[in-house]
Structure 1
Amino acid sequence: MRYKRMLEAGACYFFTVNLEDRTQKLLVENIELLRRVYLRVVKKHPVKTIAIVIMPDHLHAIWQLPESDSNYAMRWRLIKSGFSRGLPPTEFCNISRIAKGERGIWQRRYWEHKIRDEGDLDNHINYIHYNPVKHKYVSKVSDWSFSSFHRYVNNSKLLSNWECDNNLNDIYDE
């Protein structure tokens, strides 16, 4: 049975995309490569990035898709493949991945969740911004560089000393 994704043009989605080897720190070690690839893809295939956080081994993002477009899968495929092509081939790759022309850097699947309403959106934005604290990379949200939190502060949507007061485990536990 094939997994069927929820596809709705113009919808807002929360995503989690993981490295295959969750012990690696490839995303923050190669943050400039990831930024270049991400910006190139969303310039050619626009989405509105509502919130994002880049962790060492995974990332979370909330995208608002264009009104006439539901193809987030193509965007993630381009981001993942572009990032992979920019790295030297040092990872272990099993026979199945080699046969499919895959590098083995990313998990094949990713998590997506269609945002239901404003409350759901707010909870997921909070989850994204609080994620570095949850994983104990920093003690304060403002100390993590690779997050849209700083854009929210610059746009006066959050205070620089913001700390989430919601029960974020209700969203999902990775």
Structure 2
Amino acid sequence: MTDIRRYSADNRPVFITAVCYQRKPVLANASEKELLLTVMREVKAEMPFRLLAYVILDDHFHWLIKPEPDVAFSSIVQSVKLRFTHRYKRAQNLIQPVTLWQKRFWDHLIRDQDDLHQHLDYIHYNPVKHGRVSDPADYPWSSFLAHQANGSYPNGWGTTQPPASIGTLNFE
């Protein structure tokens, strides 16, 4: 077992990346993406957190969440991954054990407003980065449109070149 330390979020947002086991496209279909969103909402009701941003791709997802002070973000991720796996197995009529997720996940505690905006941009540009769409507004499995509606992103953002704010970030 590796010696991974998880720090308390201390009322700060947390950027999270969870990847499917062996990069298999477990989340490729709309039904699996919807299932993940449903599970996220259910866990959110039990372990309160603010979902600041998200994107779901075929083999991974990124979140930016702000857990309530008494809720550990690692427990949130564990609950979502376990519940999704159980529901996925039921939906697929699978009886045998199945591994859908890599054992660990990537986390980053947001340090300041610049760091927050950098990670928001990374999340919302991700579908373009992975060649799913040429305009982030065309990708339905992201919080981009909600952020654009509240004025955070202008029309055409991320369509001509990667945003300078994400630089060389790579959280895949």
| TM-score tier after normalising by the smaller chain length | 0.7 to 0.9
Q: Which stretch has the larger CA shift, 108-117 or 155-164?
A: 155-164
Cα deviation for residue 142 of structure 1 reads: 1.1
**What amino acid maps onto 1:168 in structure 2?**
I
Tell me the equivalent position of 2:51: 49
Cα deviation for residue 27 of structure 1 reads: 5.4
* Percent of paired sites with the same residue: 30
Aligned length: 164
Q: What TM-score, normalized by structure 2, do the two folds share?
A: 0.86
Tell me the equivalent position of 2:166: 168
Tell me the equivalent position of 1:155: 150
Does the aligned pair in 1 maintain the 2:49–2:65 contact within 8 Å? yes
Does the aligned pair in 1 maintain the 2:27–2:57 contact within 8 Å? no
Cα deviation for residue 111 of structure 1 reads: 0.1
Q: Which stretch has the larger CA shift, 113-122 or 68-77?
A: 68-77
Establish whether residue 104 from structure 1 lines up as the match of residue 102 from structure 2.
Answer: no
Which of 34, 37, 45 in structure 2 is aligned with 1:35? 37
Structure 2 portions without partners, runs of 5+: none
Q: How far apart, CA to CA, are the structure 1 residues paired with 2:42 and 2:73?
A: 15
Cα 1:36/1:152, change in 2 over 3 Å: same
Tell me the equivalent position of 1:84: 85
Q: Secondary structure at the match of 1:14?
A: strand
Cα deviation for residue 167 of structure 1 reads: 5.0
Tell me the equivalent position of 2:119: 124
Q: How far apart, CA to CA, are the structure 1 residues paired with 2:164 and 2:73?
A: 28
Establish whether residue 62 from structure 1 lines up as the match of residue 64 from structure 2.
Answer: yes
RMSD, aligned α-carbons: 2.1
Q: How far apart, CA to CA, are the structure 2 residues paired with 1:35 and 1:13?
A: 18
Q: How far apart, CA to CA, are the structure 2 residues paired with 1:75 and 1:27?
A: 23
Runs of at least 4 residues off by over 6 Å: none
Cα deviation for residue 169 of structure 1 reads: 4.1
Cα 1:4/1:149, change in 2 over 3 Å: same
Q: How far apart, CA to CA, are the structure 2 residues paired with 1:173 and 1:12?
A: 16
Q: Secondary structure at the match of 2:101?
A: coil
Q: How far apart, CA to CA, are the structure 1 residues paired with 2:83 and 2:155?
A: 33
